[in-house]
Structure 1
Amino acid sequence: MTEEFNESMISEIKEGDKVTAEVQEIQDKQVIVHVNGGKFNGIIPISQLSTHRIDNPNEAVKVGDEVGAYVTKIEVDEENESGAYILSKRQLETEKSYEFLQDKLDNNETIEAEVTEVVKGGLVVDVGQRGFIPASLISTDFIEDFSDYEGQTLKLKVEELDPANNRVILSHKAVEELENAEKKEKLLDSLNEGDIIDGKVARLTNFGAFIDIGGVDGLVHVSELSHEHIKSPEDAVSIGDEVKVKIKSVDKDNERISLSIKDTLPSPFEAIKGQINEGDMIEGTVVRLVNFGAFVEISAGVQGLVHISEISHKHIGTPGEVLEPGQPVTVKILGVDPEEERISLSIKATIPAEDVIESDDETTESYLSSKNEDEDNPTLGDVFGDKLKDFKF
């Protein structure tokens, strides 16, 4: 009789079978369930109720719930012709979770999961089982404190699955990289030359400042940081500064954006209107030398040109013979063009001709002894080319 009982029970439901059951009773350390199609009840130990650690079975199920589980063992009481199925709901949940995650991995799809715990080295998330996000895969940004992530629901990509070792590695950084790429493409498409937009100084180099304009960095060359002459970007801006920038050019293919802060600022020329007039003599500083003359700063960010013929009463071949950058000089205003913001200056006009030691004969002799009669005169390219490039401020 006992042998017949055992055979009938075991042949009907076997170890390893997947069953469904209804929760009938919740005890301290286990749950009693009615197994559909079974001859007796099933027992789910608390350790097998969930893929997550729980302290009370009520955290995982309630009376009347229908659950799925694997049969891990069949216990038979031969004397009383009774028995019980030992079940694992956790094993079935883990299997379903791996199937779900494998499908997402194969199709390069994202999932959402809640951060349940912040641990050393990363984040623990609930993906139907315990998933882990290493610190290096949390974000594209450097994050020192991960505590703010606890309780957040994150978009994730599956990086690695290893069912044999219960290993599930996920990445939030991969999702951010994808979102940033899409955001960057949309931003580049929306930018137009001449637009003035807000940005933040992201980093500085010796040749300029990179400005974050919403997920994309653009470069403000050092010459475009200020109307004033500056030696290094640190003289004009600091990392973290909120600034307005004007878009000078956009190269979408190479993701290069040229910006200007200077073009968003009032022209220094506006500040001196009415303060300088033709014939005035003022102090200035030589800013740079060119083959056809010298540019002199007469006010912060305001420069005028001293043509080579207006530098000295003596004949000179190059401005560098008598001037050098940084040298203080007295200049006379020869002309002011408010519309073009151009100022013509003279150093020679501030020095009486009788103070010149060199005689006219010496000047003439020096000029005539030149090997090339044109070498002391600027070419058309010198005059017009450089003027177009450097003469507007």
Structure 2
Amino acid sequence: MYVIKGENELGQTELSIRRTGTARKWFDLQQSQDNDESIDVTVIEANTGGVIVNIGGGLRGFVPTSQLDNARIFPLGGYSSKEEAGKELQAKLAELIGTELEVKVIEIDREKNRVIFSEKQVTNDIDPEKREETLEKVNVGDVLEGEVTGIAPFGLFVNAEGLEGLVHLSEISWDKVTNPADFHKVGDKVKVQLIGVDNGGKRIAYSIKRLQKDPWDEIIKKFKVGQRVTGEVTKIVDYGAFVRVEDGLNGLIHISELSDKLVKDPGKIVEVGKEYELEIISMSREERHLGLSLKRVNSSSPQPVAESVSESTVSPEMARLSEYLDEDGETEADKKDSE
């Protein structure tokens, strides 16, 4: 029994049955983790990061989305779009409410009243010895052979030599990735580079693109500031227009570079899907995009000589371009889910 007070004013020892049950449950959880044993829990709530489960004894735990069985929540073929991915994932998580899961404890912190579980470590038949063996021998930067085990809105799950980790969508390809399923499917054999090991190997980060040649090695050689190129307008926003110059190479015509005249609506100057001759006015290897100008091609008056952007300086056009890519690429929710 849990002793609340050694002796009260009546000379009696005060005990708590509820706290005794809670203390016992913490002990059982620690034993389960130490012995690598699974336990049953019930899903009582779902949120964007995973599901909250009832452990018993007045305790609750958390199963992150990344630790749920891939087959349970992620479609084999991926998602049709990023927007649909978020909706489908949230719906799948909500469907789990009331479901009993068999899980293993992967993190326990009594002081913070926190318990993290993994369903994958039960359903994926992970060999603990193989996993530990790989963890002991690999270092960040090593290249491993792996297999895609799941496709999530935020990236690919890859099992490499018993060590499952995440290839975040920003590490899949040098091209912009909005749907990981456009690049790989479940069962694909892939080579990955280990780029991060966190919390004793509980979180593993891999990269596929770092094993591929960076296209900007050739882009820097092929294009120069002041050069004229042809590009297709792919999106119009209130501060300008985004343009695809070639596969993997995108740029921005800032609103100030659309015309010599004052422009309030970029849509009145350029059209989506239409090609234009443009001039490169800035390049940033770091930002991996181009600053482009339409007015310098159409203008008859002399224009100042453009200067390339240094690695440490980002032009307003480049800053805007980064905002656009964040909108369609990595979000804060994605970061949290990959953790």
TM-score (norm 1): 0.39
What TM-score does the superposition give when structure 2 sets the normalisation length?
0.44
Larger radius of gyration, structure 1 or 2? 1
Say which structure, 1 or 2, has more relative contact order (CA 8 Å, 6+ apart).
2
